[in-house]
Amino acid sequence: MTTVAPRGRAARAQGPGGAPTRGRARGWRIDRRYLPVVGTLVVLALILVVGGARYDNFLSVGVLANLFINNSFLIVLAVGMTFVILTGGIDLSVGAVLALSSVTAAYLLNAGLPAGVVVPLVVLIGSVIGLLIGAMVHVFEVQPFIATLAGMFFARGLCFLIAPESIPITDETFVALAGWDTWVAGQWRVTSSVVIALVVVAVAFYLLHYTQFGRTVYAIGGGEASARLMGLPVTRTKVLVYVISGTCAGLGGLLFAMFSRSGYSLTGVAMELDAIAAVVIGGTILTGGTGFVLGSVLGALVLGLIQTIITFEGTLSSWWTKIVIGGLLLVFVVLQRLLAVRRT
């Protein structure tokens, strides 16, 4: 799984005078920017191998297909989060926005509104909250951490205002949409939520690599002042990344409602942290500027696989998931640090 866009061959480009005495004639041909993603891929493969060796049926098509189905909303959140983190920001509101979106969906469907209205509406809720956060970050120059923290409390509070207890979803159209699935290659089950998640990934990839907006996201992460001096639309881009992240959270809420067939105000607590973990494990650096959306997808899958392993183990507490994720995060951050140090 390599990216198509600006493919580089840094090793070759060092040229004849590139200070050979410092022993930089290392053998790898992979662009150094892809190394963290390759690392994630290796971890993913390792987990698959270990799981496959320990448990029967672990490497079955069904388990892998379920990996995508169960983590579709996390993938969507991680995609949105990637945009924000690439600019050097952070979005803590996505878990709460996801909950707000799913609770609203359940509430409105229960109230009898048609799914055709509710589905776009709940996604839009995410966009609007993202826009508000973006405006706060830009106009009032609030730290993204604080602005999105405020957004998180705001959205979570609204959830309880709408419905403190779980609302089951019975709307026929919605249930039909959630239940739609197809079988790829005969055995690989693909649900509507997986299709939506993959479309989101594809759109994000396109935006980041083939549009000026996407490249501006990277440029801002490399240095906001520089991006301004390059004449890039920094303001618009910075607001837009929060809109995208909010929209992804709204969409994630929809997927979660489809997944659970209900809306509950306590869903998605701390899910923003899972999304951030997925992005970081996927090789995106928290200070911004480097990383790939496909890395974040891999990161989300790693988190999902760890969960699967612990389920297969049976006797282990599910909190082991958190411990393993914590350890992985540490390893990846240190790895990135080493790469950054070597670069300078």
Only one of the segments 8-16, 134-142, 263-271, 298-306 lies at the binding site for other proteins (rule: CB under 8 A); that segment is 8-16
- Write down the residue that tokens 């612990």 correspond to: 310
Measured CA angle at 193 (ends 188, 196), to 5 deg: 105
Nearer Cβ to other proteins (146/229) = 229
Q: Report whether 37 contacts 275 (CB < 8 A).
A: no
Helix (H, G, I), strand (E, B) or coil at 195: helix
DSSP letter, residue 6: S
Output the smallest distance, CB 17 to other proteins, in A: 3
Q: Report whether 242 contacts 89 (CB < 8 A).
A: yes
Nearer Cβ to other proteins (220/302) = 220
Output the smallest distance, CB 297 to other proteins, in A: 20
Number of residues that bind other proteins (CB under 8 A): 42
CA–CA gap between residue 37 and residue 286 (Å, rounded): 15
Nearer Cβ to other proteins (37/309) = 37
Output the smallest distance, CB 220 to other proteins, in A: 8
Output the smallest distance, CB 22 to other proteins, in A: 6
Supply the DSSP string of 45-93, one letter for each residue.
HHHHHHHHHHSTTTTSHHHHHHHHHHHHHHHHHHHHHHHHHHTT-----
Question: For the window 325-344, what string marks contact with other proteins as x by the rule CB under 8 A?
Answer: ------------------x-
Q: Which of 50, 164, 210, 311 binds other proteins (CB under 8 A)?
A: 210
Within a 10 A sphere around the Cβ of 172, how many other Cβ atoms? 9
Q: Is 52 in the site for other proteins (CB under 8 A)?
A: no
Output the smallest distance, CB 48 to other proteins, in A: 31
Q: Report whether 250 contacts 124 (CB < 8 A).
A: yes
Q: Which of 52, 64, 198, 209 binds other proteins (CB under 8 A)?
A: 209
Question: For the window 159-198, what string marks contact with other proteins as x by the rule CB under 8 A?
Answer: ----------------------------------------
The residues in 26-45 that bind other proteins, with binding defined as CB under 8 A, are: 32-33
Strands 181-184 and 167-168: unpaired
Q: Is 228 in the site for other proteins (CB under 8 A)?
A: yes
Structure tokens at 208: 């980041």
